[in-house]
Chain A
Amino acid sequence: MSTQQNPSVYAQCIQYQLSDIVSVPVYANFNRNWATEPQFLTWNLRNVHQPVYTGQDQNNKGIDRPIFQINVFSKDMDTAFNLSNTILQSLHGYSGMFGNPATNGFWLAKADVFWLYNTYDNEIKLHQIVLDCQLDVLT
């Protein structure tokens, strides 16, 4: 039994948390102008969904398990792997405060990181590593 969560809060907390983990720029979505930077991250939020259960009560829902994708960009492959490892070490299996505790940070039950693949984009001359992170959010 719970109300629908606000994905805007997720977005702000993802931005805060990633910026807290790494010391390189963190952006929501990709902009090719950033390809001039030697290393940076982008993220995209998706799969925001609380299961809905029977009846006319709109608040009869379960927990949200949204996923955000992290794209790690770097001019050299080694940096990309090490940046990704930093995220993996910090986020995978993490349970605790997520986001800025002074504003809209919330207690996260679990963060689950899945390293998808690494690749190279010849057009922008950047190595790239793609990770998915699923959040179990209490409601």
Chain B
Amino acid sequence: MALIDKVLAGYTATLWMQDDVTPTPLTDAQLSTWTAQVANIVGTTAGGTGTAGMAVPVEAIPAFGADDAVASYSVAGARTGAKITTQNQVTSMNITCAWNPADPAMLQIRDDGYGGVTVRTYVVAVYDGTDTVAYAFNAMVGGMQWDMSPSAEGKFMFTLHPVGGNSYGWTTNS
């Protein structure tokens, strides 16, 4: 089976990240290569090998993909105009985690956000128990916030800002 061919529960999605303190993000070609590249970041529980990655325990995977991007023009006094599709930008992801100050992934993300220069490969993996479809992209951490509302667990929120229009890729394990 080349791809997952069933309607999935959103719950099957997980977020993974490279686990090195100073990672070498995957190249554009590697982001579209499962074996020995994306598979190494995705853990075994989601169908990968997990040799170079760790899970980020997020509450839910936000919408991911590409932003809408067009160049448009119009002519004053006329109905003439057009929208021209341009190279779409990879969308930023606003992530919420239940804050656990002992979790290595959250600590690494906090360090990345504090430093402000680390580019790291992140992977959203969707797993049906047999096969995985992965969306990999290179991003920096921004917009870190902690929300300690007294009526629930404390939240750690941050945004993954993708770098470069082509630094993302889709892969599958088979």
Q: Which of A1, A61, A65 has the most CB of B within 10 A?
A: A1
Chain A residue with Cβ nearest B10: A54
Which of A1, A55, A56, A65 contacts B100, CB < 8 Å? A1
A127 interface residue (CB < 8 Å to B):
no
B11 interface residue (CB < 8 Å to A):
yes
B119 interface residue (CB < 8 Å to A):
no
**Chain B residues within 8 Å of A54, by CB:** 10-14, 58-61
A63 interface residue (CB < 8 Å to B):
yes
In the bound complex, how far is the Cα of B58 from the Cα of A61, in angstroms?
9
Which of B14, B46, B98 contacts A1, CB < 8 Å? B98
B117 interface residue (CB < 8 Å to A):
no
A2 interface residue (CB < 8 Å to B):
yes
Chain A residue with Cβ nearest B97: A1
**Chain A residues within 8 Å of B150, by CB:** 110, 136
Q: Which of under 10, 10 to 19, 20 to 34, or 35 or more describes the interface residues of A?
A: 10 to 19
B103 interface residue (CB < 8 Å to A):
yes
**Chain B residues within 8 Å of A61, by CB:** 98
Whether A57 and B10, one on each chain, are in contact in the complex, defined by CB atoms closer than 8 angstroms, is: no
A105 interface residue (CB < 8 Å to B):
no
CB distance from B146 to the nearest CB of A (A): 15
Q: Which of under 10, 10 to 19, 20 to 34, or 35 or more describes the interface residues of B?
A: 20 to 34
CB distance from B96 to the nearest CB of A (A): 9
In the bound complex, how far is the Cα of B136 from the Cα of A43, in angstroms?
51
What 0/1 readout, one digit per residue, does chain A (60-75) give for beta carbons within 8 Å of chain B? 1111010000000000
> Given that A62-B152, A63-B153 are known contacts, is A56 also in contact with B45, CB under 8 Å in the complex?
yes
CB distance from A139 to the nearest CB of B (A): 8
A114 interface residue (CB < 8 Å to B):
no
In the bound complex, how far is the Cα of B150 from the Cα of A136, in angstroms?
9
What are 19 A-B contacts defined by CB distance under 8 Å? Answer: A1-B103, A2-B100, A53-B57, A53-B58, A53-B59, A53-B98, A54-B14, A54-B59, A54-B60, A54-B61, A55-B12, A55-B55, A56-B127, A57-B14, A59-B57, A60-B98, A62-B152, A62-B153, A136-B150
Interface residues of B (CB under 8 A from A): 10-15, 45-46, 55, 57-61, 97-98, 100, 103, 127, 150, 152-153
Give me the 6 closest cross-chain CB pairs, A-B, nearest first: A55-B14, A1-B57, A62-B153, A56-B45, A63-B153, A1-B100
